[in-house]
């Protein structure tokens, strides 16, 4: 009997359907047992990380965050597996938002911003030196970038900007983050925002970095959503100044990650980089062009 069979028998699951999409390497399924559920299977080496995620998601659900409800967490020890079962949030995701009016896209963004504010209300129980963490991370990624002989437009300009501005991360505080918040991990319909899912990358860090992915991925197909996201959160000019730095560092991270795991997407990645450089006029602007009159 396989670990899949053991889980199905324990929970009375008749049929598991593979859950497509995303960049996670976890096994993901969904199934129906009167209601709709998601099953995620992990290596047992991730036990502590998954336990912490489950605990935080239960806390988020209790304070009103529209995230999946944790149904069960368990082990299949003979196969060195652990697994989680969550409620399934019905709705649409990603670029499906573009079939709706610009007004509704903006409304979905505003609700998403308010949701993020609630997620970030959980503070880290221990101090994290944000400046030290991101300085080391950038130097490590940039070193790997050079070792892989990767390239990026205006490399010297971007590196100089980053190194001249890392000091602004001193004394930044850490909050709980979703870790991958953008339209691909949000659920909505014709009535607006429904909820968010996929907390696999949840962590404690500077809350401003949470807006990096939406500023890149969601920005590429729904500017109205991104503007609504910032409005709903109440984003300020000072926060944009920090976000600008995270976006600059993220350019190198995206090149390295794409080169290593999805090289066929390098051209798409280059287009996103050009978009960010255009939005911030090669990082000379503190606030992106599309938001400059609102901040």
Q: pLDDT at position 99, please?
A: 98
Q: Is the pLDDT of residue 22 over 80?
A: no
What predicted TM-score, i.e. pTM, was given to this entire model?
A: 0.93
| Cβ–Cβ under 8 Å, residues 196 and 67 | yes
**Which structural domains are found in the chain, ordered by start?**
3-87 (3.30.200.20), 94-294 (3.90.1200.10)
Between the CA of residue 273 and those of 46, 241, 262, 282, what are the distances in Å? 33, 18, 16, 10
Q: pLDDT at position 24, please?
A: 67
Q: Is the pLDDT of residue 87 over 80?
A: yes
> Which of 128, 106, 242, 79 is CA-nearest to residue 183?
106
Q: pLDDT at position 295, please?
A: 78
Q: How confident is the model at residue 217 (pLDDT cuts 50, 70, 90)?
A: very high
Residue 21 or 43, more confident:
43
Q: Is the pLDDT of residue 46 over 90?
A: yes
**Which residues 6+ apart lie within 8 Å of 262 measured at CB?**
none
- Count CB atoms within 10 A of the CB of residue 30: 15
Each residue of 136-175: pLDDT tens digit? 999 999 999 999 999 999 999 999 999 999 999 999 999 9
Cα separation, 74 vs 3, in Å, equals 12
């Amino acid at each position: 009997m396989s670990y899949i069979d053991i889980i199905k028998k324990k929970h009375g699951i008749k049929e598991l359907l593979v859950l497509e999409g995303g960049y996670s390497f976890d096994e993901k399924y969904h199934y129906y047992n009167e209601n709709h559920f998601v099953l995620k299977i992990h290596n047992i080496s991730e036990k502590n990380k998954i336990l912490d995620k489950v605990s935080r998601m239960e806390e988020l659900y209790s304070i009103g965050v529209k995230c999946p409800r944790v149904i069960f967490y368990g082990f299949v020890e003979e196969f060195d597996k652990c697994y989680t079962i969550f409620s399934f949030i019905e709705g649409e995701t990603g670029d499906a938002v573009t079939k709706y009016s610009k007004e509704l896209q903006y409304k979905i963004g505003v609700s998403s911003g308010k949701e993020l504010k609630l997620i970030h209300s959980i503070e880290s129980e221990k101090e994290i030196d944000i400046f030290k963490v991101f300085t080391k991370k950038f130097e490590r990624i940039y070193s790997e970038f050079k070792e892989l002989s990767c390239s990026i437009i205006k490399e010297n300009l971007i590196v100089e900007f980053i190194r001249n501005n890392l000091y602004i991360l001193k004394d930044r505080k850490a909050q709980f983050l979703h870790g991958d918040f953008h339209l691909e991990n949000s659920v909505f319909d014709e009535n607006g925002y429904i909820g968010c899912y996929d907390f696999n990358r949840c962590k404690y860090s500077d809350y401003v970095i949470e807006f990096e992915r939406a500023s890149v991925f969601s920005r590429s197909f729904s500017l109205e959503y991104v503007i609504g996201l910032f409005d709903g959160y109440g984003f300020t000019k000072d926060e944009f100044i920090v976000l600008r730095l995270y976006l600059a560092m993220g350019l190198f991270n995206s090149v390295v990650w794409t080169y290593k795991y999805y090289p066929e997407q390098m051209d798409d990645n280059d287009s996103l980089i050009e978009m960010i450089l255009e939005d911030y006029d090669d990082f000379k602007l503190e606030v992106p062009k599309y938001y400059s009159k609102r901040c």
